[in-house]
Amino acid sequence: MATTSRRRARTTARSEAGTTAANALWGGRYAAGPSAVMTAINASIDVDRRFWRQDIDGSLAHVAMLARQGIVRRADAAKITRGLKRIAAEIEAGRFEFKAALEDIHMNIEARLAELIGKPAGRLHTARSRNDQVALDMTMWLRAACARCDGQIRAVQQVLIAQAERNADAVMPGYTHLQPAQPVTFGHHLLAYVEMLGRDRGRFADAAKRGNRSPLGAAALAGTSFPIDRHATARALGFDGPMANSLDAVASRDFALEFLAACTTTSVHLSRLAEELVIWTNPLFGFVTLSDAFTTGSSIMPQKRNPDAAELVRAKVGAALGAFIRLATILKGLPLTYGKDMQDDKPAVFEAADALELSLAAMGGMIADLKANPARMRAAAGGGFSTATDLADWLVREAGLPFREAHHVTGRLVRLAEERSCDLPDLSLADMQRVDKRITRAVFRVLGVDNSIRSRTSFGGTAPANVRKAAKAARKLYLRGPR
């Protein structure tokens, strides 16, 4: 996207032959217009046209306030309002011509307003600057983006919970170090992600709450001598109030940084799940099958079924973290207040948001469609002496051994089973008693994988009954309420 927009800007600049006429909006003291290169580096319209609606909404609230405060005549305000609404309709219908020569979305809209209504258009910018205007647009855009991300993460939670309910007692190997550790259920595993995503939603909500203050009315940086009502515009635009300091209002972009941090954390979680899908769909595991809709074939190897969507979700962390680093780098060491550097916040924010929204959609689709293969999971869960901990726990509980000693005894039994190329439940009682006399037949009750998972009833544990309860609680906590 960045490359195409740069290319587009370059072509526009070149076709505008060398220098142009002085800018109509700020060109009072300019004899000549900018060079083509200046236009190319300065213009942001290809990027910031994306928040045209926020820009128009902000202007509508601003002009209504100007009229109420007697700063602009009601008749002029009415003309401006009508003009802005018409521009919104033009943009919506794809009939608006965005011009690089007019730099950015703010000036494109204002120039069109002048074409439509003439002189009164010039009154809209009273007691306002592009500095508070762009901060306002960004803030409103971020607020909406936080709400969209919340809805999309919720949708992923929803399909995860549904699969968890379906697979509440599907036994699979639980791993540490990607080595078989203890049996768990597939449902339990999926609910782990529901929790991570729940905290991610909390991060977006926190960012949106903290960022919900209006910069409008800070003007260029110092406030204004006009009797504006910042509280009224803040209220009209759905903010909790105006930002308290005008310098902070035009200089800060920490809402965007926080948004990108939340995007990054969410992307990290999605990438871990994506990587597990890649592992689980490998025929050596064969735990799940992804649908045709979310896999691709190979042009040369007919047997292939590649988890491309999962791999791309795994890759998208780069977009979010890259954007965070980009913006943090832009802001670092910037003296107060506004600097044109800050114009470059937008590509970072938009690219990260797009990448995350696409990842969430892809992940939601993959999870909704996936088919678990409980037989393969169960076969793998039984291997690797995965109930060794159950055996050690039994020695502690039933035979009274200290855990360290039980660990040692179990280790010897594992070695014995290894020598015989069998699993723990396949050892005879006599074999076991040769290792430790205190073992009785009752030990076999804890050795199977089903026995193992059923016994994990501690809060947050993997017992199928727990998983069903946890899924129900998750539904209540995360999915209740209108959507």
| Separation between Cα atoms, residue 319 and residue 321, nearest integer Å | 6
Nearest to 146 by CA among 238, 235, 234, 56: 238
Q: Is 44 in the site for ligand ARG (CB under 6 A)?
A: yes
Is 54 a binder of ligand ARG (CB under 6 A)?
no
Query: Residue 342, interface with ligand ARG (CB under 6 A)?
Result: yes
**Are the C-beta atoms of 160 and 363 separated by less than 8 Å?**
no
Residues 83, 109: Cα–Cα separation, whole Å: 10
Q: What's the residue count for the chain?
A: 483
Least CB distance to ligand ARG at residue 198 (A): 34
Output the smallest distance, CB 340 to ligand ARG, in A: 6
110 binds ligand ARG (CB under 6 A): no
Backbone angles phi, psi at 82, to 5 degrees: -60, -40
- For ligand ARG, the closer CB: 34 or 187: 34
Of 5, 125, 177, 252, the active-site residue reads 177
DSSP-derived secondary structure for 225-263: SS---HHHHHHHTT-SSB-S-HHHHHH--HHHHHHHHHH
Question: Closest Cα partner for 193 from 154, 151, 149, 150?
Answer: 154
**Pair 107, 77: CB distance under 8 Å:** no
> For residues 236 and 65, is the Cβ–Cβ distance under 8 A?
yes
Residue 177 bears catalytic tag: yes
Is 359 a catalytic site residue? no
By CB under 6 A, tell whether 125 contacts ligand ARG: no
Write down the least CB distance from residue 300 to ligand ARG, Å.
Answer: 47
User: Taking CB under 6 A as the rule, does residue 48 contact ligand ARG?
Assistant: yes
Q: Does 249 bind ligand ARG (CB under 6 A)?
A: no
Is 130 a binder of ligand ARG (CB under 6 A)? yes
Cα dihedral sign for 191, 164, 150, 473? negative
Distance CA 63, CA 83 (A): 12
Least separation in angstroms between residue 29's CB and ligand ARG is 15
The least CB distance from residue 35 to ligand ARG, in Å, is 17
CB 327 within 8 Å of CB 257: yes
Task: Kindly name the residue from 44, 271, 298, 452 that is annotated as catalytic.
Answer: 298
Q: Which is nearer to ligand ARG, 131 or 373 (CB)?
A: 131
Work out which of 167, 246, 266, 343 binds ligand ARG, going by CB under 6 A: 343
Binding site for ligand ARG (CB under 6 A): 44, 48, 104, 130-131, 134, 338, 340, 342-343
Any idea which residues carry the catalytic annotation?
177, 298
